């Protein structure tokens, strides 16, 4: 799945609810999901870790949708290697 | 860019350093980046928001690499709509 497909999927599935919820509540949900991911990394199963990674990614895509930002465009800053030093591998 | 390409790009750019840093430090960095994203959503420019979205996504991909988890497989749980109710749109 590419990032554009993911954003479209999130818009179809959660777009209306996201818009009604608003940005601060979406940031709060994202933070909650990051907490669940942190716990899964520490003591979860591989399946729980995968689920929580997906949930954080889903909330990140929903947030990008609300901001009207294309994740693919945004992540292009990493396409040429480290955005700070330009290195692949990073030599910062 | 698809999720597999992003993970490969992160592995090439940061893989060695990620492995040396370890999981707890990577989770801490991810949390830091989520904080920067939250601030950018509240009072940042569109460019700052895009940068911080990309940084969170990059750290998420690095974390998935360290866990040996394929983000594309993980996010497939959303492919059929909401994983809880199965709806598109979600009817939870």
Segment B38-58, tens digit of pLDDT:
999 999 999 999 999 999 999
Q: Which residues of chain B have pLDDT under 70?
A: none
pLDDT, mean of residues A9-32: 94
Task: Label residues B15-49 b or e (16+ Cβ within 10 Å = b).
Answer: beebeeeeeeebbebbbebbeebbebbeebeeeeb
Q: Which residues of B touch A32 (CB under 8 A)?
A: none
For an interface test with A, which of B12, B41, B81 has the most A Cβ atoms less than 10 Å from its Cβ?
B41
Residue B65 and residue B30 in contact, taking contact as beta carbons nearer than 8 Å: no
Question: Angle B3-21/B46-67 helices, nearest 10 degrees?
Answer: 70
CA B21 to chain centre: 18
Say yes or no to pLDDT of A92 above 90.
no
Give the SS3 label for residue B2. strand
Cα distance from B74 to chain A (closest Cα, Å)?
5
Query: Does the model's ipTM exceed the 0.90 cut?
Result: yes
Q: What is the pLDDT of residues A52-91, one digit of tens each?
A: 999 999 999 999 999 999 999 999 999 999 999 999 999 9
CA dist., res. B66 & res. A85, Å (int): 22
């Amino acid at each position: 799945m590419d990032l554009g497909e993911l954003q479209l999927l999130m818009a179809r599935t959660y777009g209306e609810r996201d818009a009604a919820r608003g940005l601060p509540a979406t940031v709060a949900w994202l933070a909650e999901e990051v907490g669940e991911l942190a716990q899964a990394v520490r003591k979860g199963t591989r399946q729980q870790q995968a689920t929580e990674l997906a949930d954080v990614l889903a909330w990140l895509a929903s947030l990008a949708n609300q901001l009207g930002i294309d994740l693919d465009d945004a992540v292009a800053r990493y396409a040429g290697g480290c955005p700070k030093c330009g290195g692949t591998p990073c030599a910062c």
